[in-house]
Structure 1
Amino acid sequence: MSSNPLADRMQARLERAKAMRDEDKLYRHNGVLYPTLMCPEEHLRCLDGLEARDDDILLVAYPKCGFNWMVGVMKKVIAEATQTQNESKISPLIEFFGPEVLKAVVEAPSPRFLGTHLHPDIMPSSFSQKNKDGVVFRNPKDTLVSYYHFCNNNPVLPSVESWDSFFSQFMKGDVAWGSYFDYALAWNRRMDDPNVLLVTFEALKQDLSAGIRQISSFLGFSLTEAQVQQVAAGSTFNAMKESSARSHGNMGNVIFRKGEVGDWRNHFSPEQNREMDQAFSKHLAGTTLGAQLDYQRYCQ
């Protein structure tokens, strides 16, 4: 056993996944697919007992939009502002908790740092009323590419038959945690909520220090410029990738792959490019969230 219980739990699930059939690795709950080993239905049911606190910080992201990177950024911001180290070995994803871990989270001191990939409409109701939500999004083309490679290298998820088949599944929302566009539209309805801050993967790549200032202000912290730069130096994607073996064990290189903007150009066919452009235009063109994604700049 290592000194990181989170990495140990992940490794145990990876071993169990090797003996599972692909068709058993996902299940449907209220029409949405979820990974059987990581968040079984029992976990989703017991979340009803998780009550939000006013000072909870909840990080929200559709899969492969930068969640794990942002976990590292926000932990460093909180640690720098409070001069305490958040060394929790519990995954911040609330759907991974289960009854035993949930009990520890309920008893944990404030402020709690939590996270989720869950669609906002099925999160515990108190989490839309009390806490602060930091939401990170990424352009759908790079999200799809990152998700494809993640599924290809993650034994707890079904094997990907081909790029074309995964593209089709993603566009139909037939992937774990459901449709990217449904997820985006649900958060677009909350863009005027003062307790919601949306940041984009692309903006963080362009100016990480500015993103750190924005996040710190949203959380009510006042970091000096020296503190901002210290957090930024340890929060680049490459820095996170280098330390991922300690934080995520054997899954480190799977979770932190490239962290690039524009990798979609190496994967999309002209027909797939047109299909995604049409989907974005249909669902997100003219929305507040769509404008922040700056689709024309990053996806044309």
Structure 2
Amino acid sequence: MGGAGTYKPTGKNDRAVLLEMIHSTTNTSAEDLLFSYKGMLYPSILCSLETFQALETFEAREDDLLVATYPKNGTNWLIQILCEIVSLVHHREPLPDATMIEFGSPEILARFKDRPSPRILSTHLDFKNIPKSFFEKKVKILLVLRNPKDTAVSFYQFHNSLPALPSYNSWATFFKDFTNGTVVYGQYFDFVATWEKHFDEKTMMAITFEEMKLDFPSAVKKISEFFQFSLTEEQIHLVANRTTFNSMKEKSENTHGKLGDSFFRKGEIGDWKNYFTEDQSKVVDTMFEKYLAGTKLGKMLNYDKYCKF
């Protein structure tokens, strides 16, 4: 069911282990890079049946910090922001192990129990597959969104640069899979619409990639206040300066090894215009109208501003 379920733990931190697993997949066939669980595709190198089963009994803590995102919506960026905030507030070194809860072996998942509070956790899982204890403990969840067209382009480039995912010969082929939902973690619009349906303003907050790019210090303040961290203006700007996208990209070789450029490519708004045909654009426009038009999360995406030629 994939390398993640059979990997033997080493003395390395969990992120280093996962990056090593990704980098060792160069000879794996495209078909073997994916596996299906409950009707959803996942990367078999990083996810396994055994880990998904272990997640069903995962014990969340009330003070956990959970970041939920569709792939390529700013996951690593948010993790680093939270690492910097927590290190300032709790006077500890930023932890390098803030990996996806669904990544790795059950042994890696079990080691989450040893992490000091507050734990910074992240996931690409859709709402219905989040472990129940997160909702029972009323854990605060930060949902990060990015406009669907830039998401698609970034995801396409990710497929073609990350050994753990099948590569694509053409943008047109990937676009078809993206809109059909036959990519890992399923269809973008399904993901966002399901979160919209269950969005609880008491325990959840949504923020957009675009909002963060346009006024980053304000976004850092908003994130810290949601998680009930009191930062001074000086600390807010310190975190912002340490975690700009360009700063993250410059440090990516240290944080993500040889795969740094895969995780931090451009981080631009509007790159989709270099890839989408007019017909493809209309397809996504129609999907937005069907799934998200008039919804709270749909409005947050500011679709007309970011997704129209």
Instruction: Please give the TM-score of this superposition, normalised by the length of structure 1.
Output: 0.95
What is the letter of the counterpart of residue 7 of structure 1?
A
Aligned pairs, number: 298
What is the letter of the counterpart of residue 87 of structure 2?
A
- In structure 2, how many angstroms separate the alpha carbons of the residues matched to 1:112 and 1:192? 21
**Aligned partners of 2:79 and 2:98 also within 8 Å:** no
Residue 107 of structure 1: CA displacement? 2.9
Matching residue within 214, 219, 227 for 1:211? 219
- Alignment partner of 1:202 is 2:213: no
Percent of residue pairs bearing the same amino acid type: 41
Match for residue 108 of structure 2? 101
Higher relative contact order (CA 8 A, sep 6+): 1
Matching residue within 81, 101, 117 for 2:89? 81
- Residues 293 and 240 from structure 1, CA distance in 2 versus in 1: closer, same or farther, beyond 3 angstroms? same
Matching residue within 263, 266, 269 for 2:271? 263
* Residues 87-126 of structure 1 mapped to structure 2, 5 A cutoff: 87-88=95-96, 90-126=97-133
- Residues 191 and 176 from structure 1, CA distance in 2 versus in 1: closer, same or farther, beyond 3 angstroms? same
Match for residue 129 of structure 1? 136
- Alignment partner of 1:6 is 2:31: no
**Aligned partners of 1:141 and 1:264 also within 8 Å:** yes
Match for residue 41 of structure 1? 49
Matching residue within 51, 67, 74 for 2:75? 67
- In structure 1, how many angstroms separate the alpha carbons of the residues matched to 2:35 and 2:66? 25
**Aligned partners of 1:4 and 1:247 also within 8 Å:** no
Match for residue 239 of structure 2? 231
Deviation sequence 1:210-248 (CA, Å, 0-9, x none): 111101111111111111111111111000000011111
Residue 8 of structure 1: CA displacement? 4.6
- Alignment partner of 1:52 is 2:38: no
Match for residue 293 of structure 1? 301
Matching residue within 172, 176, 181 for 1:168? 176
- Secondary structure, counterpart of 2:198 in structure 1: coil
What is the letter of the counterpart of residue 267 of structure 1?
Y
- In structure 2, how many angstroms separate the alpha carbons of the residues matched to 1:61 and 1:231? 21
Residue 171 of structure 1: CA displacement? 0.2
- In structure 2, how many angstroms separate the alpha carbons of the residues matched to 1:187 and 1:174? 19
- In structure 1, how many angstroms separate the alpha carbons of the residues matched to 2:76 and 2:292? 25
- Alignment partner of 1:144 is 2:145: no
- Secondary structure, counterpart of 1:33 in structure 2: strand
- In structure 2, how many angstroms separate the alpha carbons of the residues matched to 1:237 and 1:117? 20
Residue 190 of structure 1: CA displacement? 3.2
- Residues 50 and 4 from structure 1, CA distance in 2 versus in 1: closer, same or farther, beyond 3 angstroms? closer
Match for residue 3 of structure 2? none
Residue 161 of structure 1: CA displacement? 2.5
**Aligned partners of 2:15 and 2:99 also within 8 Å:** no
**Aligned partners of 1:191 and 1:288 also within 8 Å:** no
Deviation sequence 1:93-152 (CA, Å, 0-9, x none): 000142211221123232111110011101111112321101101000000000000001
Residue 4 of structure 1: CA displacement? 5.9
- Secondary structure, counterpart of 2:56 in structure 1: helix
- Secondary structure, counterpart of 2:160 in structure 1: helix
Residue 155 of structure 1: CA displacement? 1.0
Deviation sequence 1:129-184 (CA, Å, 0-9, x none): 32110110100000000000000111111121210010000001100011111110
Q: Which runs of 5+ in 1 are unaligned?
A: none
Q: What is the RMSD of the two structures over their aligned residues, measured on CA atoms? A: 1.6
**Aligned partners of 1:190 and 1:196 also within 8 Å:** no
**Aligned partners of 1:284 and 1:290 also within 8 Å:** yes
- In structure 1, how many angstroms separate the alpha carbons of the residues matched to 2:159 and 2:22? 15
**Aligned partners of 2:224 and 2:230 also within 8 Å:** yes
- In structure 2, how many angstroms separate the alpha carbons of the residues matched to 1:33 and 1:13? 17
